Structure 1
Amino acid sequence: MWLYKECEKRQIRFDVFITTGNFAVDCAAIAKLAKPHKRVVVIGGDGTLHLTVNALINTECSLALLPQGTGNDFARGFSCNISDWQESVFSQSDELIDIGQINNRYFINIAGIGFDAYVVKALQDKPAMSSFGYSFAGFKHLLSYKPRRLVGNFAGQAVSQINLITVFANHRYFGGGLAIAPKAQLNNGLLDCYAMNARGSFANLYRFLRLLLRSHHSMKGLIYQQLNSAVITSEGLSIEADGELIGETPATIKVHPQALRFCIPVKGNKKAPNK
């Protein structure tokens, strides 16, 4: 593997950890193994990245990424190729970025309640094999999704609606390449919140198509705001974070500004997005 050979060539001592699928056990093991190191490199996708963020939060250890997953939604937001990511692994600098939190889980990309969590749950037994697979699963499960009322308070604004999807975004993409939050930034101390109400089956399909075409910002019934905290009081709604099913509402959401050191890749000679 390229990384192993590069570390040996640079005479950098490293440890290797292979995840087991048990979140609590893996999280504790990564946190312990990372203590003597200055940087952890994730070789994987959004799920492995999510796990590692939870292990490294509140530490001085920086995080680098070599995107090797199916969706790679967080990485997609930088529009960089693999050589750019490889370069960032050994960069002498890193930047403090914001990290979101929903209940007891931290997230680096996006947390969602509603249809997205429903699709994540449906894909647990049969994961998508490509980014297209996520979009196809969205179409497939949209007609069977039964929306429920979401009640909460988003940065002082009362919200009560039949929920199609509500996301809290720290970065731009989710669901295998859907640009749900094109304005989101990693270092502004805010999450971009999109709350889309549900209507009839065909209207919901139309809304999903608008999302695919990146024209959802102008949709009627869409609540968009930037916030640093939110509370959802409805019970029993599934929650996903960084593409991982993590629990159910009620939920408390907040952002931790500049909470993690991350090696942001640079595309060519230009600064990466969110700089």
Structure 2
Amino acid sequence: MSQLDKFSVYNSWFIIANPIAGNLKFSIQWKEIKQLLNNKNIDYSFAFTQFSKHEIELVQNAIQKGFRNIISIGGDGTLHNVVNGIMMQRYAKTSDITISVIPLGTGNDWIKTYNIPNNIEKAVEIIHKKNTILQDIGVLKTESKTIYFNNVAGLGYDGYIVNKLKTLKRFGSIAYLISGIAGLLFYKKTIFKIIFDNKVIETNCLMTIIGICKFSGGGMQFTENVNSSDGLFDITIAKDLTILDLFFNLKKLYSGKIVHHKKVETHKTKTIKVIPQSSKPFIQADGELIGTGTISVDIVEKAINFCVN
């Protein structure tokens, strides 16, 4: 590749698109996206995902070829896999790479923290302006794997909801509500041993949330006053909350005020370990089911640039 070609690739965007993210209208939306990008004179190459987690391979190949600007077209799952591809590759510093998002998925929780509209035309305008923030990324380790996350991870009730969502996604955004109700009725709390900053908390726990950004579960906020670039996780430990507690505080789940409930406590930390004592609850990261059991989580400060509003 000539120096001119390398410069061209370096300043171009590589699009990774999930053609089945959230709906069956992708061919129409893709035509609109291409037209808007061309209208803004945004240079790009692209590839479509063909199987689960294909984004990881596609983004690594693009970075190896010299691309440093990536557009994720899809939902939170597509973005999650793009982030994992960037964090796992060894061709470039992750902080030299910029991600922009054109949201097409059902959840799209990450974009809410930055007030990015769920609108193709406005998303392309954000790409054109390229106003960026250098955001922290989480590293979550289970007994068998290492996963990176850019939004929110956790285990317990929220992991149960994500597991339920696998069979309900065809219902669209209402699937989150159905899954949440199922969780209220059937999820069994367990005792968690939570270790961070020389503290040990052992409590009957509905869920433990580890947040970089604000929103998860289709717009719920289990964290408040989040700073996605401060090098700290926002930890929320929801203890022995009952069905009635959640029902009567439903509005607070979406406003973030649930963190002030007497059965909820919050902390900020760089690293945390959660050890379930009596069962192996589901683990989720960015709305993706990761596994079950114990987790250790660390933060990578100011890891990737993201285009924001």
Contact 1:171–1:185 under 8 Å retained in 2 = yes
Distance 1:154 1:64 in 2: 33
Larger-gyration structure (1/2): 2
Write the deviation string for residues 53-78 of structure 1: whole angstroms up to 9, x where unpaired: 11112533210011111111111122
Assess, with a 3 A threshold, how the Cα gap between structure 1 residues 199 and 192 changes in structure 2: closer, same or farther. Answer: closer
RMSD: 2.2
More off after superposition, 82-91 vs 105-114: 82-91
Assess, with a 3 A threshold, how the Cα gap between structure 1 residues 65 and 128 changes in structure 2: closer, same or farther. Answer: same
Write the deviation string for residues 58-100 of structure 1: whole angstroms up to 9, x where unpaired: 5332100111111111111222433442222123453311111
Structure 2 length as normaliser, TM-score?
A: 0.78
Structure 1 length as normaliser, TM-score?
A: 0.87
| Equivalent in the alignment of 2:57 | 28
Write the deviation string for residues 163-194 of structure 1: whole angstroms up to 9, x where unpaired: 21111111111110112223111111111100
More off after superposition, 211-220 vs 40-49: 211-220
Q: How does 1:1-275 map to 2 (within 5 A)?
A: 1-9=31-39, 12-23=42-53, 25-35=54-64, 36-57=66-87, 58-59=93-94, 60-81=96-117, 82=119, 83-103=121-141, 104-127=146-169, 129-206=171-248, 210-212=252-254, 214-234=256-276, 236-265=280-309
Distance 1:28 1:64 in 2: 18
Distance 1:254 1:260 in 2: 15
- Identify unmatched segments of 5+ residues in structure 1: 266-275
Distance 1:168 1:219 in 2: 18
Distance 2:249 2:136 in 1: 29
Assess, with a 3 A threshold, how the Cα gap between structure 1 residues 260 and 138 changes in structure 2: closer, same or farther. Answer: same
Higher relative contact order (CA 8 A, sep 6+): 1
Assess, with a 3 A threshold, how the Cα gap between structure 1 residues 148 and 63 changes in structure 2: closer, same or farther. Answer: same
Write the letter of the residue equivalent to 1:65. Answer: V
- State the shift of 1:227 in Å: 1.0
From the two aligned structures, give the one with the greater helix fraction. Answer: 2
- State the shift of 1:38 in Å: 2.3
Provide the secondary structure at the position in 1 that maps to 2:222.
coil
Contact 2:223–2:256 under 8 Å retained in 1 = no
Assess, with a 3 A threshold, how the Cα gap between structure 1 residues 257 and 73 changes in structure 2: closer, same or farther. Answer: same
- Identify unmatched segments of 5+ residues in structure 2: 1-30, 88-92
